[in-house]
Amino acid sequence: LSSEHPKAKIIFLSLDMANKDSIHKSLEQVAKEFKFIDILINCVGIVDETQPELVITVNLIGAIHSTLKAVELMSKDKGGRGGFLINVASVLGLIPDFTHCIFSASKHGLIGFTRSIASDVYYKHTGIKVNAFCPGKTETPLGKKYIENATLEYGLPYITNVSESKGQTTEECAATLIKALEADKNEAVWISDNAELTEVTFPTYWAPRQD
């Protein structure tokens, strides 16, 4: 990246998404190096149905810690400039996935958290637009891990339905993520599938009654 963009300041930090202190220290260092954080993309995910605690800790709790710390550092109310925050979830956080119940649960949780913290009640104070970004099948090492195990053995024969389906490249996925940023929306949930970007429209299942 430095060779392609010689005038840009680029740093690399290693952090542990299962460790709150590691996440906080890394984001604080970024804010110190660049003075401000304008855009944060939480793109983290592991697939291992044999380790539910680790999957939930990394995929959901780690992303929550990163989001909350970023809000603290980016918020206009606290001296930041506002900006954009995207949590990368999965289409399997929008639908049930009986072959990978734990992974699906972690991404359902991330979408619920993201939609909640994206509330305009918060945006009026923070100036931070928050979106969830849900890739479909994308050619990554994560996809290869996906076919190695299922939550219950009965699901193993069905994994091929996903593994043999058409997917997108990481470059195509990244291009749709840029489009999501350019759309400049708050509270949006996006699907990136086969190089196409689609906004998700959710029905209102329930609202508190005031009468």
Name the token pair of 110: 């991330």
Task: For residue 129, give the nearest of 58, 78, 79, 70 by alpha carbon.
Answer: 70
Q: Where along the chain do its domains lie?
A: 36-199
DSSP classification of residue 40: E
Q: How far apart are CA 62 and CA 56, in angstroms?
A: 8
Report the pLDDT averaged over residues 22-28.
98
Query: What integer pLDDT is reported at residue 140 of this predicted model?
Result: 86
Identify which has the larger pLDDT, 202 or 1. 202
Q: Is the pTM of this model over 0.75?
A: yes
Q: How confident is the model at residue 165 (pLDDT cuts 50, 70, 90)?
A: confident
Report the pLDDT averaged over residues 186-196.
98
pLDDT in tens, 111-144: 999 999 999 999 999 999 999 999 999 998 877 7
pLDDT in tens, 78-106: 999 999 999 999 999 999 999 999 999 99
Task: For residue 193, give the nearest of 165, 154, 161 by alpha carbon.
Answer: 165
Contact indicator for 192, 176 with CB cutoff of 8 Å: yes
Query: What integer pLDDT is reported at residue 142 of this predicted model?
Result: 78
Select the CATH number that applies to the domain covering 36-199 from these four: 3.40.50.720, 1.20.1730.10, 3.40.190.10, 3.40.50.2300.
3.40.50.720
Poorest-confidence range of 53-57, 100-104, 160-164? 160-164
Task: For residue 67, give the nearest of 9, 126, 10, 134 by alpha carbon.
Answer: 126
C-alpha distances in Å from residue 151, one per residue of 44, 60, 91: 20, 18, 18
User: Residue 22, Cβ neighbours under 10 Å: how many?
Assistant: 16
Query: What integer pLDDT is reported at residue 163 of this predicted model?
Result: 66
Report the pLDDT averaged over residues 29-37.
97
At 161 the three-state DSSP class reads helix
- Does the pLDDT value for residue 146 go beyond 70? yes
> What is the percent of the chain with per-residue pLDDT over 70, rounded to a whole number?
99
